[in-house]
Structure 1
C-alpha cells in the first residue's frame, strides 16, 4: 500500500507537511503507524499548483523519500496553495518513475492508496477501458494510473466525484470477474488546481485509512494524522468523498459498488 497527503488553502512551504511534522509524510515512508505496510520506499512524488500556471508541476523519483536530497531542497523552497505528495509501497508493479504517483493530465492530478485484486490477470482488459484519445497518457503499468485515465474519460471536468466512482466501480467489476480479493481498496486524492477531492472506499471492510484536518488557513488530507493532537483529525468514512475549496468542505456519497457489476463502454 502507500501513504499520501494533500493541502489546500493559503500558500505554505511543502516541507511543513512533507518533512517537519512529527508523523510527516517522510516519516510515514519509513514508519507508517496505520495500515499493514510500515515501509513505503518504492518511490515518491510531488505535484503542486502555481497561481501563474494552469497545469501542475511534478517531481518524482524511485528511491526512498527519506534519502532524497533534492526532495528536501524542493520542499524547502517551494510554496503552494494546493499540493499533493505520495510515498509508494508497490503491490506488484515495477519501481519506476512512470509508476510513481501523483499522475497527471492537463490541469488534473491524482494519487491513490490501494489495489485492484489480481490486477496482473486482467491488465489487458483494464487497458481496453481507457479511452483511445487518452491512451497515449498510459505511461506506467499500475491500476491506479488506469483508474485515473478511465475517470477522465467519464467526464471528470463536469462530475469529478461521479466520474471517479464510475471508474473505480468498473475496475472493481473487472477484479470480481477476472481477478482476486480484495477486489478494490481505494483511498485517493485528485485535483484540478482549484478544487481538491478525496474519497475512501473498499469492496470489503478494510478501506485504506484517510483523515482530514481543518487548520487556520486551509485543510490537510492525509493517510494518517500528522500529529498527536486529540480531536482535530476527522476520519473520512468508507463510501464518502469530500470536495475542498480552501477551508470549505463539501461532503458527497461515493458509491462505486453501484457500477461494479457493469462493463459499460466508455464515451468517446
Structure 2
C-alpha cells in the first residue's frame, strides 16, 4: 500500500520533514518497516499551502521519490505551515500521474493509505453516488480519489467527520451487497488549509498503522539536544504512517476506529463510526 505524512505548525522547509529525519518519508519509499510493502516506488506527491494562496500547490510524479531531482529541489526551497507528503505502492490501479496522491479540489487536499476490497466489482455503484458536477473533476482511476469525491458529495466542506463517516458507510453497504466481507481499509488525511483531520478505520478493525507526535513542549524536555524542537511552536503536529525515527517518547499510535483534528482552537480526538447513507 502506501506511506504518508501530514505536517501542521511553524512554517518550515519541506526538506526538514521529507528528507532529514533518520527514517524520513524518502527513506520509507525504499525501507518501510510497517507497511504491506517494503518499497513504495509507484509514484509520489507533495501538496502544500503558501502564505498568500488559498488553494494548495501540488506536484505528483509516477517515478520513485528517492531519486527525483525535482522533489529534492522543491523541498530545499519551499517553506510551508501545512503540507502533505505521500509515497505510493499501487493496489492494482495503473501507475500514472493522475493516480498519485494527494488529490485536490478547491482549497481541499486528501490522501489515503489502504484500499477498497474488490474495488473492481463495486466501483460502478460507488461512482454513481458521486454528485454529477463533482464527477467531472475526477481524473484518475483509484479507489482513493473516488473516496475523496464521495466525501465531497456527502458534505466534506461543511462537516468533514460526518462526510467521511457517510463515505465509509456507503463503501461498507455496497461492499456487503456484493458479498465483500471487509470492504474498507483506510488511514486518511484531509485538510482545508486551516484544519487537518486524520482517520484510522477498517471494516476488519485491523487498520494500517498511524501515529502522531507527542506534544512539542514535552519533547523539548525529553530531548533538549534536538535543535528542531526549539525552532517550532508548541502547536506543531505531525501525523505519519510510521515514525520518522526512533526518538524515545516521540510517537503515539492513533487508536483503532478513531479520528483526530488539528486546529487553531486545540487538538481533539474522537471515536469514528461509519454512518449509513
In 2, the alpha carbon distance for the partners of 1:127 and 1:247 equals 36
Q: How does 1:178-189 map to 2 (within 5 A)?
A: 178=178, 180-189=180-189
In 1, the alpha carbon distance for the partners of 2:179 and 2:16 equals 40
Q: 1:249 aligns with which of 267, 270, 276?
A: 267
Relative distance call for 1:246 and 1:66 in structure 2 (3 A) is farther
Offset from partner CA, 1:23-75 (integer Å, 9 cap, x none): 10011111101122111111000110012011000000000000100000001
Gaps in structure 2 of 5+ consecutive residues: 217-231
- Contact 1:172–1:183 under 8 Å retained in 2: yes
Deviates more, 1:76-85 or 1:240-249: 240-249
Q: Which is higher, the Rg of structure 1 or of structure 2? A: 2
Q: How does 1:108-257 map to 2 (within 5 A)?
A: 108-178=108-178, 180-213=180-213, 214-215=215-216, 216-217=232-233, 218-245=236-263, 248-256=266-274
Deviates more, 1:170-179 or 1:12-21: 170-179
Relative distance call for 1:101 and 1:181 in structure 2 (3 A) is farther
* Cα drift, residue 181 of structure 1: 4.9
In 1, the alpha carbon distance for the partners of 2:38 and 2:59 equals 23
* Cα drift, residue 19 of structure 1: 0.9
* Cα drift, residue 183 of structure 1: 1.4
With normalisation by structure 2, the TM-score equals 0.90
- Contact 1:200–1:240 under 8 Å retained in 2: yes
- Contact 2:172–2:182 under 8 Å retained in 1: no
* Cα drift, residue 11 of structure 1: 0.1
- Contact 1:31–1:38 under 8 Å retained in 2: yes
Q: Which residue in 1 is equivalent to 2:35?
A: 35
Gaps in structure 1 of 5+ consecutive residues: none
With normalisation by structure 1, the TM-score equals 0.93
- Contact 2:42–2:95 under 8 Å retained in 1: yes
In 1, the alpha carbon distance for the partners of 2:136 and 2:188 equals 23
Relative distance call for 1:18 and 1:238 in structure 2 (3 A) is same
- 2:95 partner SS: coil
In 1, the alpha carbon distance for the partners of 2:204 and 2:242 equals 20
Q: Which residue in 2 is equivalent to 1:2?
A: 2
* Cα drift, residue 17 of structure 1: 1.0
- Contact 1:6–1:82 under 8 Å retained in 2: yes
Deviates more, 1:156-165 or 1:62-71: 156-165
- 1:29 partner SS: helix
- 1:137 partner SS: coil
In 1, the alpha carbon distance for the partners of 2:61 and 2:92 equals 18
Q: Which residue in 2 is equivalent to 1:67?
A: 67
* Cα drift, residue 156 of structure 1: 1.3
In 2, the alpha carbon distance for the partners of 1:79 and 1:28 equals 22
In 1, the alpha carbon distance for the partners of 2:5 and 2:95 equals 20
- Contact 2:3–2:35 under 8 Å retained in 1: no
- Contact 1:119–1:179 under 8 Å retained in 2: no
